[in-house]
């Protein structure tokens, strides 16, 4: 099953029960943006828990309100979260988030989609 | 390229110096680079943001120096009470960026009642040709919190000498000063024990927290956030689980987060419930139980109190919205 949606901040694909979120280039995430991102993400959940593969390689910045919202409100219905990183900025962004957000959702960052999928599949809700 | 990097390092050093003296309002402008230096700049910005937030709650700024009074916020207004200048403290305290203030009516940063009061005060100020006065006003932060303060108003001529402008200064009385006042009050009344507010005053006393205490309280905070559904033990038991005592947990939590442990738990449960009602298919009843409530009526009551609408209102609204799409 392939479902795709998108907004100003990201594009989404639902493939094999995993939601792929790819942020657009130079996106700056504040609370307002985070709400839109999460709302569109949840529209693909169909009320079910799902794994999220989130490509943050091109995100420019995310503020505290957005970080908190994503870690709290954004964590319901998420079985696990894999962040795709590569540049120094995206690596530090994910490390900062992992260190400060204390999200209850298993979260880790990866440099390849394959590794990320291996991680997400461990938490797949059957 | 080398020169450009030196410039960026210079800005980072400037930022670190500001952080060292407790100015957490500064940010470094981001560039389109995506290298190690840019990563450091981003981290520094986020770090400052975290510190600024902690500082607003704990008021730990310059705590070793214990200043008695410090000028907290300054505003320069023109004749029609439009803001011309503002200091960084004001933007930090009211949680708005500096640019937000310039050209805006001063009253838009006050509570409605205070805005009306301001109009009266300033009208009389000009009618009576005063040079200085003071008044009590309630400021409104971006998050909707209220900050009651005494505002000192002085008249001066603007640089061009064409208009009379106003300098508003808001003084923050530190807890040290408050403590001195409190002691004095106790002495004057000479009946501190029977003083009607003495219990309340005692409760307000600052609890001394070590870094270890703070770490334990933070663990408690995270445990609540990530386990809202858990059957919450008594405060005493929860304190023991965290390796601290009830007193430190109770007053330390309030001091760190500005909310009691119990209220925070309820708030987090409702936050989660609010999202689940909108985006999951579970019944409202099962959501109530899933986030840790024991009874539906209790859940509905506190939910309504917090959000001003009922859980069913939210679900209906969301369903209608979805069907329209």
Instruction: Clarify whether residues B104 and B158 are in a common domain.
Output: yes
Domain closes at, from B116, B144, B173 = B173
| Segment A25-62, tens digit of pLDDT | 999 999 889 999 999 999 999 888 999 999 999 999 99
**Host domain of residue B313:** 211-324
Q: Give the total number of structural domains in chain A.
A: 1
Residue B238 located in a structural domain: yes
Three-state SS for B17? helix
**Alpha-carbon distance B278 to nearest alpha carbon in chain A (angstroms):** 9
* Helix/strand/coil for A14: strand
| Same domain for B102 and B140 | yes
Same domain, B142 and B247: no
pLDDT at site A100: 86
Please report whether residue B218 resides in a domain. Answer: yes
* Same-domain status, B83 and B151: yes
Query: For residue A2, with 0-12 CB atoms within 10 Å meaning exposed, 13-18 middle and 19 or more buried, which class applies?
Result: exposed
Among residues 25-84 of chain A, which lie with CB inside 8 Å of chain B? 26, 42, 45-48, 60-61, 63-64, 72-73, 76-77
Domain with residue B73: its CATH number is 3.30.450.20
Signed CA dihedral, B20, B22, B24, B29: sign only: negative
> Distance between CA atoms of B53 and A63, rounded to whole angstroms?
12
Per-residue pLDDT of chain B (325 residues; tens, 9 = 90+): 688 888 888 888 888 887 877 777 777 888 888 899 999 999 998 998 888 777 655 544 333 333 345 667 899 999 899 999 998 888 877 878 888 899 999 999 998 889 999 999 999 999 988 888 998 888 887 766 667 788 999 998 877 778 889 999 987 654 443 444 444 455 544 444 444 444 444 445 566 788 888 889 989 998 998 888 888 899 999 999 999 999 999 988 988 888 899 999 999 999 999 999 999 989 999 999 999 999 999 999 999 998 889 999 999 888 777 665 5
Tokens standing for residue A36? 């839109």
Q: Looking at the domain assignment, is residue B252 inside a domain?
A: yes
pLDDT of residue B13: 86
Q: What residues 106-125 of chain A have any CB closer than 8 A to a CB of chain B?
A: none
Res B194: pLDDT: 42
Is B280's CB within 8 Å of A47's CB?
yes
Mark whether B267 and B300 lie in a shared domain.
yes
In a domain, B196, yes or no: no
B204 found inside a domain: no
Strand partners, A51: A18, A80
Same domain, B144 and B76: yes
- Nearest Cα of chain B lies from the Cα of A117 at a distance, in angstroms, of 24
DSSP per-residue string spanning B18-39: HHHTT-TT--PPP-S--SHHHH
- For residue A52, give the CATH number of its domain: 3.30.750.24
Instruction: Provide the domain count of chain B.
Output: 3
At residue B20, the pLDDT reads: 79
State the pLDDT at residue B161.
Answer: 77
Q: Is residue B188 a part of any domain in this protein?
A: no
Q: What count of CB pairs under 8 Å joins A to B?
A: 66
CATH number, domain containing residue B17: 1.10.8
Contact map slice: B 169-198 vs A, CB within 8 A: none
Q: What is the largest CA-CA distance in chain A?
A: 36
Q: Which of B149, B173, B197 is the last residue of a domain?
A: B173
Whether residue B280 lies within 8 A of chain A, CB to CB, comes out as yes
Alpha carbon distance A57, A88 (integer Å): 9
The torsion angles phi and psi of B137, rounded to 5 degrees, stand at -135, 155
Last residue of a domain, one of B37, B58, B79: B58
Nearest CA to B153 out of B173, B131, B171, B129 is that of B131
Q: Which range marks the domain in which residue A83 is found?
A: 2-122
Packing angle of the helix pair B261-279, B311-324 (nearest 10 deg): 30
Binary contact (B34, A76; C-beta < 8 A): no
Domain CATH code at residue B319: 1.10.10.60
For A1-126, list the strands marked E by DSSP. 2-6, 10-15, 18-23, 27-29, 50-55, 59-62, 78-84, 107-110
In a domain, B181, yes or no: no
């Amino acid at each position: 099953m392939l479902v795709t949606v998108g907004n100003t901040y990201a594009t989404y694909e639902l493939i094999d029960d995993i939601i792929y979120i790819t942020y657009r280039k130079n996106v700056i995430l504040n609370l307002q943006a985070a709400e839109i991102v999460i709302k569109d993400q949840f529209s693909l959940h169909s009320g079910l828990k799902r794994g999220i593969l989130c490509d943050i390689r091109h995100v420019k910045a995310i503020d505290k309100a957005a970080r908190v919202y994503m870690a709290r409100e954004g964590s319901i219905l998420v079985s696990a979260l894999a962040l795709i990183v590569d540049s120094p900025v995206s690596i530090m962004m994910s490390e900062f988030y992992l260190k400060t957000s204390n999200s209850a959702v298993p979260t880790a960052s990866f440099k390849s989609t394959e590794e990320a999928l291996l991680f997400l599949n461990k938490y797949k809700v059957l | 390229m080398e020169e450009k990097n030196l410039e960026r390092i210079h800005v980072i050093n400037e930022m670190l110096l500001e952080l060292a003296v407790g100015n957490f309002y500064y940010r470094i402008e981001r560039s389109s680079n995506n290298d190690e230096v840019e990563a450091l700049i981003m981290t520094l910005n986020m770090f400052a943001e975290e510190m600024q937030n902690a500082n607003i709650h704990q008021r730990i700024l310059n705590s070793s120096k214990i200043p008695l009074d410090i000028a907290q916020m300054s505003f320069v207004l023109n004749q029609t009470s439009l803001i011309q200048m503002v200091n960084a403290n004001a933007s930090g305290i009211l949680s708005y960026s500096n640019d937000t203030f310039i050209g805006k009516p001063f009253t838009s940063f006050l509570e409605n009642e205070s805005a009306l009061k301001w109009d009266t005060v300033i009208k009389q100020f000009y009618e009576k040709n005063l040079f200085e006065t003071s008044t009590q006003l309630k400021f409104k932060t971006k998050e909707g919190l209220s900050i009651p303060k005494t505002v000192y108003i002085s008249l001066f001529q603007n640089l061009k000498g064409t208009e009379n402008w106003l300098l508003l200064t808001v003084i923050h009385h530190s807890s040290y000063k408050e403590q001195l006042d409190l002691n004095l009050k106790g002495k004057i009344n000479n009946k501190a024990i029977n003083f009607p507010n003495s219990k309340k005053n005692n409760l307000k006393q600052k609890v001394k927290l070590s870094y270890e205490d703070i770490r334990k309280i933070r663990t408690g905070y995270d445990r609540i956030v990530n386990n809202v559904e858990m059957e919450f033990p008594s405060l005493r038991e929860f304190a023991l689980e965290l390796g601290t005592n009830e007193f430190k947990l109770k007053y330390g939590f309030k001091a760190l987060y500005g909310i009691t442990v119990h209220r925070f738990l309820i708030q987090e449960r409702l936050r989660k419930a609010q999202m689940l009602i909108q985006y999951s298919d579970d019944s409202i009843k099962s959501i109530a139980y899933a986030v840790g409530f024991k009874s539906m009526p209790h859940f509905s009551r506190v939910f309504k109190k917090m959000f001003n609408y009922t859980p069913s209102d939210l679900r209906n609204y969301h369903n209608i919205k979805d069907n329209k799409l």
